[in-house]
Structure 1
Amino acid sequence: MFSRAFSKPTTANWVIQGANLIWFLGTFLLLSFYGVETEYALADAILFTLVFFGGVTVLDRIFSFYIPKGSNNWLLLALPLVISALGILIHYYLLGFFISDTDFLQIQKSMVILRSAILWVTFTLVTLIALVVAKLELQEESQKRENMMKDLSKEAELAQLRQQLQPHFLFNSLNSINALVMSKPDKAREMVIQLSDFLRGTIRKDSHEPVTLKEELGYLQLYLDIEKVRFGHRLDADFKVEEEAENLLVPQLLIQPLLENAIKHGLYGVTDEVRIRFEAKKQGGYLEITLENPYDKEHTAQSGAGFGLSSVARRLFLLYGRKDLLSTEKLSEVFRVNLKIPQSK
C-alpha cells in the first residue's frame, strides 16, 4: 500500500529527491555554521542523507507488504524508532571508517541520541503521511469502483428497458399481422415488409449512441406506416419540426413509445379519424418535443397503459439523472406529452 505513496514514478519520486536534497543541505549548513571543517561536514552530510534515504526505503518496503491495524498500531511508532537507531549507529561507524579525527568523532558520539530523535520524528512523520496518502488512494479507488458499478448497473437497466421495448412493439405488430392474414393478406404482407425494414434499421444501430432527430423521425415514419396498415384512414399524423431541431440528438427510439402510446389511447374507443400532432423545436439548450392525441376521459384506459411513459421517464433519469424532463397534461379533449432532451454544448 505504502509503495504507492513513496514510489510513484512521477510526483512522489520528485518529493523524495527534494527531501534528500533538503536533508543534505540542512545537515551540511548546520555543521558548517558550528565550525566543522568543510571536508568533515560534507562527508557527514552525505552519510546522514544516505541513512535518511535508506530509512525511508526500508519503511516503504515494510509497509508495502504489511499495514498495522488495531492493536498493532504501536508498530507505526516502534518501527521508525528501531530504524532510526540502527541508522544512527551505521552513520557513526561509517564516519569512523572515513574520518580519523578523534575530536570530531567524539563530538558525533555525543550527538547520537539527538540525531536518533531527529530521525525518529522524521521517519514517524513520513510513515503517517504515507499512511494518509495510501488511505486517500484507497478511498479514491473505492469511489471509482463504486462509480463503475453504478455505471454498469445503469447500463444493465437501460439494456433491460430496450429489451422490454422491442418485444412490446413487436408483439403488437405481430398481433396486427395475425388479424390481417385472413381478411387482408396483401395488407398483412405489406406490414411484414415494413416491420422488417423497421427492425433492420433499429437493431443494426448502436443503441448506446444517440441519433439525430432527423434519423429518429425516419424510424417513426416506418412505425407509422406499420400502424397505418393496421388502422387505415383512421390514423393521421401531423409532424411540425423546425429545421434547426433536425440535427439535435436524441436517444434512439426514445420517442417511439410515446407515439405508440398516443396512437393506442387516441384511437381507443374512437371510430372516426384521429390526428396525432407532433412538434419539435430547439429551445435554449434543449430539444423540446410535444405530442398530442385526442383524449376521451369517459373511456377507461386499457390494461398495460403507462408502459411507454414510464419506460421513457426511467430512461431519461438513467441517462441524464433528472426527473423533470417528461411531463403530461390532460386538457379538455387532448392528452399532451412534453419532452425535453438536454443537448451537450
Structure 2
Amino acid sequence: MQGPFGARQGSLLYLLAWLLFGVALAWLLAAAAGVTLAASLLFALPLTVLYGVAAGFSSYYLCRAHPLGAVAHWRVLAAFGFAALCMAGLWLAAASLWNDLLGQGGIPWNRSLAATVFGLGLILYGLCAVANYLAIAVGRARELETRELQAQLMARDAELRLLRAQVDPHFLFNSLNSVSALTSIDPAAAREMTLQLAEFFRRTLGLEARRHIPLRDELELLRHYLAIEQVRFGERLAWDESIDDAALACLLPPLILQPLVENAIKHGVARRLDGGRLRFAAARAGSLLRIALENDSGDEEAPRSASGRGLVNVRARLAAVYAHEASAHWSAGPGTFRVELVLPAQTMES
C-alpha cells in the first residue's frame, strides 16, 4: 500500500501517534467540558483515528503531486490551504454527527468546541503535510544512496574483471613461450607442459563468477601452476610451504597469488644457474590473514621495484576488493626477495 501506510511498522507507529493524540485530546475535553474521561475517550478516539487516516492519505498524495522546488510556492500553499479547509470542515461535521449519535454519552457541544475542532483540523493537516514531505525526502535520499552504492559495486566489478583479464593472457603468453622453447629440445616435456597448462585453465574456468575462494583452493591452483613450471625447470625449482590450519578456510580473491609466484620464478629461479627455492607461508592472526612469499635471488640481481606488472596488479585487486583494509609490501634482502600480503580473515561462515 502506498502513502503513510506503505510499511507495516510505519503504519503501526502512525496509528499509535494518533491514538496518543486522541487520549490527550480526550483528557483536555474531560477537564474543559466537565464530563467523564470515558465519555471524552469515546468521543475523541474514533475521530482522531479517522482524521489521521484521511489526512495522512490526502496530504501524502498532495505532496507527491506538488514536489517542493518543482512547483511554485504559491501553488503549494494554495493547494494545501484549500485541502486543509476542506478536511477540517469535514472533520468538524463528522465530530458533530458522532456526538449526536452518542446522545447522552456524548459531550456538551457548543461554538467554542466547534471552533477548537476546526482549528485543530487545520493545524494537524499542516503537520501531516510537513511529515509527508520529510518522509518523501528521506526516501529519495535513501534511493540515491542505494543507486550510488550499486554504481560503485558495478564499477568495482568491472575493475576486477579488467584486472583478471590482464592476468590470464600474461600467464598464457609466458607459458606458450616456454612450450615453444621446449618443443625443439624436449618434445615430451613440451607435451607434458601443454597438458598441465590445459588442466590449469580448466580448473580456472569456474573462477570468473566467484569473488572469493578459500586459501586451500588457491593453494591447489598454485601447486598445479608449479607442476607446469616444474616441467620446465626440473630440480632447479623447489617449493616449501608453512600453512596454518586456521588460514586454510580464509577467503581471498581468485588467482591473487599466481602473479607473485610467476614473478618469483621469472626474476628469481630462472636467473640462477642452480635454480632456487620458493617459501610460502600463511597464518591467521586474529582478524587478519598474513601471507608471505619469499624466493631466492642472485646476489648480482638488482632489487626488483614494486612497479612490476605482478605487484601492481595484486595491489590494485586488493584495493578494489578490500579498500584500505588490505595491503601488499615487498622487501629485498641478501639473496632473497619477499612479498607479504595482509588482508581481512574472512570465511564462508563469517
Give the 3 Å change call, closer, same or farther, for CA 25–272 of structure 1 in structure 2.
closer
Q: SS state of the match for residue 324, structure 2?
A: coil
Residue 327 (structure 1) shift: 0.6
Structure 2 spans left out of the alignment, 5+ residues: none
CA distance 1:305–1:169, change in 2 (3 Å): farther
1:321 aligns to what SS in structure 2? Answer: helix
Paired position in structure 1 for 2:125: 123
1:188 aligned onto 2:190: yes
| Offset, 1:177 | 0.9
Structure 1 counterpart of 2:162: 160
Partner Cα distance (2:246, 2:107) in 1: 86
Between 19-28 and 181-190, the greater mean CA deviation after superposition: 19-28
Q: Which runs of 5+ in 1 are unaligned?
A: none
The RMSD of aligned alpha carbons is 3.5
Counterpart residue number, 1:68? 68
TM-score (norm 2): 0.82
Question: How far 1:52 sits from its partner (Å)?
Answer: 5.1
Counterpart-to-counterpart distance in 2, 1:266 and 1:305? 17
> Is 1:291 aligned with 2:290?
no
The equivalent of 1:18 in structure 2 is: 16
Q: 1:297 to 1:118 in 2, by over 3 A?
A: farther
Distance across 1 between alignment mates of 2:7 and 2:279: 62
Partner residue of 1:211 out of 203, 210, 213: 213
Q: Aligned residue for 1:179?
A: 181
Match of 1:55 in 2: 55
The one-letter code of the counterpart of 1:183 is I
Is the aligned partner of 1:235 residue 2:233? no
The aligned length equals: 341
- Cα distance in 2, alignment partners of residues 288 and 160 from structure 1: 26
- Pairing of 1:324-339 with structure 2 (within 5 A): 325-339=327-341
TM value normalised by structure 1: 0.83
Distance 1:278 1:141 in 2: 46
Kept in 2: contact 1:210–1:252 (CA 8 A): yes
Distance of 1:180 and 1:214 partners within structure 2: 31
Cα gap change, 1:166 to 1:301, in 2 (>3 Å) = farther
Could you tell me how far 1:46 is from its partner in structure 2? 4.8
**% same residue:** 29
Distance 1:126 1:229, change over 3 A: same
Residue 307 of structure 1: CA displacement? 1.1
Question: CA 1:302 to 1:277, structure 2 compared with 1: closer, same or farther past 3 Å?
Answer: closer
User: Which moves more between the two structures, 168-177 or 281-290?
Assistant: 281-290
Partner of 2:261: 259
Q: Which amino acid aligns with 1:284?
A: G
**Separation in 2, partners of 1:52, 1:283:** 57
**Who is 2:202 aligned against?**
200
Q: Say whether the 8 Å CA contact 2:242–2:281 is kept in structure 1.
A: yes
Q: Distance in 2 between the 1:320 and 1:243 partners?
A: 23
- The one-letter code sitting in structure 1 at the alignment partner of 2:133 is L
Name 1:318's counterpart in structure 2. 320
Shift of the alpha carbon at 1:49?
A: 5.6
What does 1:81-160 align with in structure 2 at a 5 Å threshold? 81-93=81-93, 95=96, 99=100, 108-110=110-112, 113-160=115-162
